[in-house]
């Protein structure tokens, strides 16, 4: 279920259609079929509003906190190239801790298929291709799963609008997303998105046994390029293990002129 | 008349007055008592069951605290281990059909068994695979082989990696395992252990029974037919313990009551009071004890199993003295009211003393560092004192109902059983009188042999062999251990006390050295640590070249490998490292042998720990896991045994010295209680029976119970001596007066303790037979040794010519 790294692509035509459709949502949302349609439209509209940023670079501080409050911190820089013909490409280089400084990861997102990834180890000065089909697995040892960080694809979920309710000073759509892809760790997720900007504020995840499993809180939204809202803080709490992962983003930059050649295996070795 | 006589007379008079009051207000007393009993019955339902290790350790115990900290850092260590094979399939666990079933089973277990943290099997275990310039973490369930040949290739790759051998698959590939890690431990708060929060605290709704039940249900499904499963680990073991404890607690109460009823019918003529009195006494004794446990928040553990039978035996024995005295009073032509009064007057003080000495025996263990033993000693001590009051009220009320006039002459005749007991007691008297020194020498001889046996007594226990040979959980555990190795966890935590500290090669090399040493022991079947994972990654990163099955060459590379592992989707680091990477666990899987063998092994391995200097520079090494708990528990057993017996002896001896007003008499009356216990412990030494967490109770339980009969005998001897002025006559009168009651109470105790032999737990059966032996020896000592000591030591002073009183 995407959110933390925005690297999907919007379809303008679909977006226009959706924008028009959503205007008439309250009248439609009477039956189960209507609720499903409305849920899908909300998700697509949110996705549309995130798309079209081109390329970006930001700093990320990841804090892994165990149930006893012990912490490990990683700091990294992330470059993203939005691609029109499929999943986005990203390059991540680690700055901290010191012993992993210069370690870098190149990812080609493949939607429903496993991502292609290459990993550069400065200690051996070697690049290794790595891959995993484990969508429900932990992302970098955090409480985020790979599926939480992967690109949005409309076909990956079944959607159902549940209700509207106040969320802080705003009003939120509350929608249920049910994964349709194989090997998900979730049976469903309940998503809170505000009705004005379609920003996601909270997601509650339920595991395959149907038990309340994790909560994601997204906050401190900032507007970039007068169009793109980005959360500066994401907190994922695992209620089973009582572990928590904090993602703090900062220094978002856009339109840096990245091209595909900046996202190659040779570029991976040079990325500092 | 001495002060002591005054005390005894005053006490007798006080009890006589109580007897009168109860007789007069028997209906009111009965109604009040029924009300109180209903209250106790309600409270008794609030007690919970707990048989985990946590039930054995105090929260403040430092070893236990380390263990809890270990669980917090590395997760609950409670698991279910399911060994399986497919004898009809050529490729066993690596048959396509079997692997498909196991894949489905793994998912079903993970998705439907309550309180599961993670399920690992061959189908979903991480497999770090190298292929040219690429490396991936694969799982069979995500990348299922297309045909049998491909699966066999995966098998060969897996069998080539030491990390899987003897944990998920044996080295031949014929047997494999599913490991279910649980998210709970049995000591979690009860509200966290309920499957359905609304369904209450019945066993099937609680962890681990609910998890165990669901696992059994799933494994029995027809779709998994053709695969043989063998279950072991904490969940089946604890669930079985709990189910047995609960079922047998109820069975034991029922069996004990039936036995008490049968014995009292045989021992005394059928009468409302003699039949229902003891039954009610023991039932109420159990309920009041449970009510106290509920109020004081004590839980029912394995040791509780001895409680119902002990309460039944002690309660019934007390009743025997009441009934026996009452019948003697009636035989002497007293009205019911006078008989009731005299019964309480004669039996009240000895019974109170007996209750106090028995309770003292239990309370002596309350300082034990084994929580279950300390708890048991408190609630049983309180239960025994409650039992005294219950006996007085119930028996006196029951004996008060009926016609008040003296009984007819026919009822006074002596029956065959009474003739037999009088014959035995005459023979006892003749033997003791003929040569008291020879009797003492015979006991002294036995004592010398026993003391030699004491030197061979060893502290040891084994939770697997605690179950009967035929118990499913034992059979399956032994099979699993035989095929795959041990299930007992011994853990060494390397604590660097700084975040990311374990990524240092210096620390990893310490872990590797200790791990290599541990692998040299036959008792160790498997070891796990972060070192295994790093070696596996290093090998995979170098194209699977076995020459690289080594630790990485630099600290930086260690860190980068771990990062790569996590980015590739690896999720097993939690098993090896604490959340902040400050601690690493070296886990040893050890065969569940007798604890002393495990402790010997651990002591030997500890010789190879890094020196204090090295630890100060790298990581502090802390022992924990179940192995460390075992070690500590063995220490505590030895400690409890020595201190418990010392305190029991001192408390009871002081009590007896005070009652008899003489240190000499008090100490002499302790001899018949000491002798049987030394003999039984000596016998255990000779027979190779180890002192475990159950058998450590034998000495204090036995001394507390055995002393009851000694008190009755000694008080009677004293009374008869001061009446007759002659030791031989006093012995004769005492044997006639209380000898039969002593034999009856001993028979009741022996029969009641034989109920333990029906248990599915070997440990309890053995406890019962040793306790029985102790009771028999105590009876022999009371009948032979105590009178012989009277004749030789003359503790009440010189003989004199008796004056006729009144």
**Rounded alpha-carbon distances, angstroms, from residue B208 to B77, B183, B239, B300, B601:** 13, 11, 6, 15, 31
Task: Please state, rounded to an integer, the average pLDDT across all residues of chain B.
Answer: 85
* Distance in angstroms (rounded) separating the CA atoms of residues A38 and B125: 40
Residue of B110, B144, B148, B113 whose CA lies nearest to B127: B144
Chain B CA closest to residue A210? B111
CB contact under 8 A, B556 and A64: no
CB contact under 8 A, B556 and A132: no
The residue ranges of DSSP E strands in B575-717, in sequence order, are 583-590, 620-624
* Distance in angstroms (rounded) separating the CA atoms of residues B321 and B319: 5
The predicted-structure confidence for A134-144, as pLDDT tens digits, reads as follows 667 788 888 98
* Distance in angstroms (rounded) separating the CA atoms of residues B790 and B665: 9
Q: What is the pLDDT of residue B645?
A: 79
**B chain contacts of residue A105, beta-carbon cutoff 8 Å:** 567
Mean pLDDT of B145-152: 92
Kindly state the DSSP code that residue B162 receives in the 8-state scheme: T
Mean pLDDT of B254-259: 81
The predicted-structure confidence for A247-269, as pLDDT tens digits, reads as follows 999 999 999 999 999 999 888 88
Q: Is the pLDDT of residue A8 over 60?
A: no
CA atoms within a 13 Å half-sphere pointing along the CA-CB vector of B470: 2
CA distance A75 to chain B (A): 13
The predicted-structure confidence for B731-778, as pLDDT tens digits, reads as follows 999 998 888 888 888 888 888 888 888 888 888 888 889 999 999 999
Chain A CA closest to residue B555? A99
Helix (H) or strand (E) holding A232: strand A228-238
Q: CB within 8 A of B190, min separation 6: which ones?
A: B48, B201, B206
CA distance B578 to chain A (A): 8
Mean pLDDT of A134-155: 79
Torsion from C-alpha of B509, B511, B515, B518, nearest 10 degrees:
120
CB contact under 8 A, B556 and A65: no
Res. B92 pLDDT band, cuts 50 70 90: very high
Mean pLDDT of A31-48: 89
**A chain contacts of residue B508, beta-carbon cutoff 8 Å:** none
Q: What is the pLDDT of residue A12?
A: 30
Q: Does A108 touch chain B (CB under 8 A)?
A: no
* Distance in angstroms (rounded) separating the CA atoms of residues B314 and B320: 10
Res. B137 pLDDT band, cuts 50 70 90: confident
Chain B CA closest to residue A100? B560
Res. B411 pLDDT band, cuts 50 70 90: low
Contact B772, B351 (CB under 8 A): no
Candidates A60, A99, A120, A140: best to mutate against B (most CBs of B within 10 A) is A99
Q: Does A72 touch chain B (CB under 8 A)?
A: yes
* Distance in angstroms (rounded) separating the CA atoms of residues A23 and A27: 9
CATH of B1-63+245-407, one of 1.20.120.1770, 1.20.1640.10, 2.60.120.10, 3.40.50.1820: 1.20.1640.10
Kindly state the DSSP code that residue B57 receives in the 8-state scheme: B
**B chain contacts of residue A121, beta-carbon cutoff 8 Å:** 557, 560-561, 564
Task: Please state, rounded to an integer, the average pLDDT across all residues of chain A.
Answer: 83
Q: Is the pLDDT of residue B531 over 90?
A: yes
Cβ-nearest to B136 among A70, A132, A208 = A132
CB contact under 8 A, B571 and A138: yes
CA distance A138 to chain B (A): 6
CB contact under 8 A, A100 and B142: no
Chain B CA closest to residue A119? B564
Looking only at the bridges linking them, the beta strands covering A126-131 and B620-624 are unpaired
**A chain contacts of residue B136, beta-carbon cutoff 8 Å:** 130-132
Exposed, middle or buried: residue A163 (CB in 10 Å: 0-12, 13-18, 19+)?
A: exposed
Mean pLDDT of B584-597: 88
CB contact under 8 A, A130 and B564: yes
Q: CB within 8 A of B785, min separation 6: which ones?
A: B439, B440, B443, B671, B672, B675
CA distance A196 to chain B (A): 36
CA atoms within a 13 Å half-sphere pointing along the CA-CB vector of B779: 21
Q: Does A17 touch chain B (CB under 8 A)?
A: no
Q: What is the pLDDT of residue B569?
A: 78
Q: Is the pLDDT of residue B98 over 80?
A: yes
Percent of chain B with pLDDT over 70: 95
Residue of A84, A76, A75 whose CA lies nearest to A55: A84
- Cα radius of gyration (chain B): 32
Give residue ranges of B with CB < 8 Å to any A CB: 72-73, 75, 110-112, 117, 133-139, 141-143, 183, 499-500, 503, 541, 552, 554-561, 563-564, 566-571, 573, 578-582
The predicted-structure confidence for B568-578, as pLDDT tens digits, reads as follows 878 788 889 98
Cβ-nearest to A99 among B112, B503, B580 = B503
**B chain contacts of residue A240, beta-carbon cutoff 8 Å:** 117, 183
CB contact under 8 A, B72 and A68: yes
* Distance in angstroms (rounded) separating the CA atoms of residues A91 and A57: 9
Q: Is the pLDDT of residue B25 over 90?
A: no
Range with the poorest average pLDDT among B17-21, B162-166, B407-411: B407-411
* Distance in angstroms (rounded) separating the CA atoms of residues B64 and B56: 10
CB contact under 8 A, B568 and A130: yes
**B chain contacts of residue A134, beta-carbon cutoff 8 Å:** 137, 139, 142, 569, 571
The predicted-structure confidence for A16-38, as pLDDT tens digits, reads as follows 333 333 434 444 445 678 899 99
Q: Which two tokens stand for residue B140?
A: 């069979």
CB contact under 8 A, A68 and B564: no
**Rounded alpha-carbon distances, angstroms, from residue B519 to B526, B549, B588, B629, B727:** 7, 16, 9, 21, 69
| Residue A158: strand pairing partners | A178
CB contact under 8 A, B72 and A100: no
The ranges assigned to domains in chain B are 1-63+245-407, 79-183+189-226, 414-455+662-806, 472-631
- What are the structural domains of chain A? 12-75+134-252 (2.50.20.10)
Candidates A63, A102, A133: best to mutate against B (most CBs of B within 10 A) is A133
Q: Which two tokens stand for residue B571?
A: 């999720």
Cβ-nearest to A119 among B139, B554, B564 = B564
Q: What is the pLDDT of residue A18?
A: 36
Res. B101 pLDDT band, cuts 50 70 90: very high
Chain B CA closest to residue A145? B569
Chain B CA closest to residue A123? B557
Q: Does A125 touch chain B (CB under 8 A)?
A: no
Phi, psi dihedrals of residue A64, rounded to the nearest 5°: -100, 120
A13-20 CB contacts, 8 Å cutoff, 24+ apart: A14/A44, A14/A48, A15/A44, A15/A45, A15/A48, A15/A51, A18/A44, A18/A45, A18/A48, A19/A45, A19/A48
Look at domain B414-455+662-806 and name its CATH class.
Answer: mainly alpha
Q: What is the pLDDT of residue B183?
A: 84
The residue ranges of DSSP E strands in B59-197, in sequence order, are 79-85, 116-120, 127-131, 134-138, 176-182
Chain B CA closest to residue A207? B111
Mean pLDDT of B287-302: 84
Q: What is the pLDDT of residue B547?
A: 92
CB contact under 8 A, A99 and B566: no
Chain B CA closest to residue A124? B557
The interface predicted TM-score (ipTM) is: 0.84
Q: What is the pLDDT of residue A23?
A: 39
Residue of B677, B593, B691 whose CA lies nearest to B636: B691
Q: Does A128 touch chain B (CB under 8 A)?
A: yes
Provide the number of CB pairs (under 8 Å) joining chain A to chain B. Answer: 118
CA distance A265 to chain B (A): 12
* Distance in angstroms (rounded) separating the CA atoms of residues B627 and B621: 15
């Amino acid at each position: 279920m995407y959110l933390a790294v925005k690297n999907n692509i919007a379809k303008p035509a679909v977006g226009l259609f959706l924008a028009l459709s959503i205007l008439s949502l309250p009248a439609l949302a009477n039956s189960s079929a209507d609720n499903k349609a409305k849920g899908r439209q909300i998700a697509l509209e949110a996705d549309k509003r995130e798309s079209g940023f081109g390329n970006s670079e930001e700093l990320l501080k990841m804090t892994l906190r165990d149930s006893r409050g012990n912490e490990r911190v990683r700091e990294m820089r992330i470059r993203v190239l939005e691609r029109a013909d499929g999943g986005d490409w990203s390059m991540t280089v680690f700055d901290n801790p010191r012993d992993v400084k210069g370690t870098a990861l190149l990812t080609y997102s493949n939607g429903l298929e496993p991502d292609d990834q290459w990993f550069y180890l400065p200690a051996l000065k070697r690049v290794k291709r790595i891959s995993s089909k484990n969508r429900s697995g932990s992302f970098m040892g955090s409480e985020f799963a790979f599926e939480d960080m992967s690109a949005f694809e409309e076909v990956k979920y079944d959607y159902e609008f549940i209700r509207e309710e106040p969320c802080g000073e705003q009003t939120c759509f509350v929608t249920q997303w049910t994964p349709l892809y194989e090997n998900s760790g979730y049976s469903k997720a309940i998503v809170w998105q505000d009705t004005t900007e379609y920003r996601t504020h909270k997601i509650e995840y339920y595991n395959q046994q149907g038990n309340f499993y994790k909560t994601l809180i997204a906050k401190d939204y900032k507007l970039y390029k007068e169009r793109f809202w980005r959360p500066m803080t994401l907190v994922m709490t695992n209620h089973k293990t009582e572990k928590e992962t904090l993602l703090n983003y900062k220094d978002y930059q856009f339109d840096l002129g990245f091209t595909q050649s900046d996202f190659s295996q040779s570029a991976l070795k040079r990325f500092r | 008349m001495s002060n002591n006589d005054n005390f005894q007379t005053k006490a007798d008079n006080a009890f006589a007055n109580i007897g009168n009051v109860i007789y007069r207000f028997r209906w009111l007393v009965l109604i009040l008592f029924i009300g109180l009993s209903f209250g106790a019955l309600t409270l008794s339902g609030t007690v919970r069951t707990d048989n985990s290790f946590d039930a054995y350790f105090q929260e403040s115990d430092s070893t236990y605290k380390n263990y809890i900290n270990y669980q917090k850092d590395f997760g609950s260590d409670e698991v279910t281990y399911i060994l399986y094979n497919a004898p009809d399939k050529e490729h066993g666990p690596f048959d396509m059909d079997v692997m498909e079933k196991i894949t489905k089973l793994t998912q079903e277990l993970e998705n439907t068994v309550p309180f599961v943290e993670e399920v690992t099997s061959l189908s979903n275990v991480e497999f770090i695979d190298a292929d040219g310039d690429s490396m991936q973490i694969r799982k069979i369930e995500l990348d299922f082989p297309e045909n049998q040949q491909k699966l066999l290739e995966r098998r060969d790759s897996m069998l080539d990696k030491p990390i899987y051998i003897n944990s998920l698959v044996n080295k031949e590939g014929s047997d494999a395992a599913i490991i279910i890690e649980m998210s709970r431990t049995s000591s979690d708060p009860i509200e966290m252990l309920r499957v359905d929060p609304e369904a209450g605290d019945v066993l099937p709704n609680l962890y681990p029974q609910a998890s165990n039940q669901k696992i059994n249900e799933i494994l029995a499904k027809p779709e998994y037919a053709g695969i043989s499963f063998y279950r072991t680990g904490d969940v089946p073991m604890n669930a079985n313990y709990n189910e047995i404890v609960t079922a047998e607690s109820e069975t034991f109460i029922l069996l004990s009551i039936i036995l008490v009823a049968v014995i009292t019918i045989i021992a005394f003529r059928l009468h409302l009071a003699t039949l229902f009195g003891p039954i009610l006494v023991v039932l109420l004794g159990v309920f009041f004890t449970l009510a106290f446990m509920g109020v004081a928040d004590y839980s029912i553990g394995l040791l509780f199993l001895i409680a119902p039978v002990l309460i039944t035996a002690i309660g019934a024995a007390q009743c025997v003295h009441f009934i026996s005295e009452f019948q003697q009073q009636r035989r002497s032509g007293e009205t019911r009211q006078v008989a009731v009064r005299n019964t309480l007057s004669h039996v009240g003080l000895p019974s109170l003393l007996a209750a106090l000495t028995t309770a003292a025996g239990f309370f002596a263990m309350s300082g034990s560092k084994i929580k279950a033993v300390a708890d048991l000693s408190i609630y049983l001590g309180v239960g025994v004192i409650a039992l005294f009051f219950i006996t007085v009220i119930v028996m006196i009320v029951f004996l008060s109902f009926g016609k008040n006039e003296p009984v007819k002459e026919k009822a006074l005749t002596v029956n065959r059983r009474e003739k037999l007991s009088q014959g035995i007691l005459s023979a006892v008297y003749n033997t003791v009188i003929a040569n008291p020194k020879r009797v003492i020498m015979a006991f002294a001889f036995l004592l010398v042999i026993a003391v030699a046996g004491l030197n061979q007594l060893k502290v040891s226990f084994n939770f697997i062999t605690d179950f009967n040979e035929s118990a499913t959980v034992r059979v399956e555990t032994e099979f699993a251990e035989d095929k795959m190795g041990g299930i007992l966890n011994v853990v060494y935590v390397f604590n660097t006390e700084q975040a990311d500290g374990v990524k240092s090669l210096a620390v990893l090399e310490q872990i590797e050295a200790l791990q290599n040493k541990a692998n040299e022991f036959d008792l160790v079947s498997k070891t796990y640590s972060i070192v295994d994972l790093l070696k596996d990654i290093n090998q995979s990163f170098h194209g699977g070249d076995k020459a690289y099955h080594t630790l990485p060459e630099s600290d930086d590379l260690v860190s980068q490998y771990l990062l790569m592992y996590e980015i590739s989707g690896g999720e097993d680091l939690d098993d090896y490292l604490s959340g902040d990477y400050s601690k690493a666990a070296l886990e040893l899987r050890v065969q569940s042998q007798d604890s002393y063998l495990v402790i010997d092994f651990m002591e030997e391995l500890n010789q190879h720990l890094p020196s204090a200097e090295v630890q100060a520079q790298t990581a502090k090494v802390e022992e924990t896991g179940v192995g460390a708990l075992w070690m500590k528990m063995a220490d505590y057993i030895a400690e409890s045994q020595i201190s418990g017996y010392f305190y029991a002896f001192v408390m009871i001896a002081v009590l007896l010295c005070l009652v008899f007003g003489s240190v000499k008499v008090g100490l002499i009356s302790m001899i018949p209680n000491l002798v049987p216990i030394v003999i039984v412990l000596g016998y255990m030494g000779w027979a190779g029976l180890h002192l475990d967490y159950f058998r450590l109770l034998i000495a204090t339980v036995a001394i507390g119970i055995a002393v009851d009969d000694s008190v009755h005998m000694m008080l009677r001897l004293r009374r008869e001596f001061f009446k007759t002025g002659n030791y031989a006559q006093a012995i004769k009168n005492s044997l006639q007066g209380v000898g039969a009651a002593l034999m009856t109470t001993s028979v009741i105790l022996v029969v009641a303790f034989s109920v333990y032999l029906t248990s599915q737990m070997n440990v309890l059966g053995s406890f019962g037979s040793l306790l029985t032996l102790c009771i028999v020896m105590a009876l022999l000592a009371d009948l032979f040794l105590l009178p012989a000591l009277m004749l030789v030591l003359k503790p009440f002073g010189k003989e004199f010519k008796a004056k006729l009183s009144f």
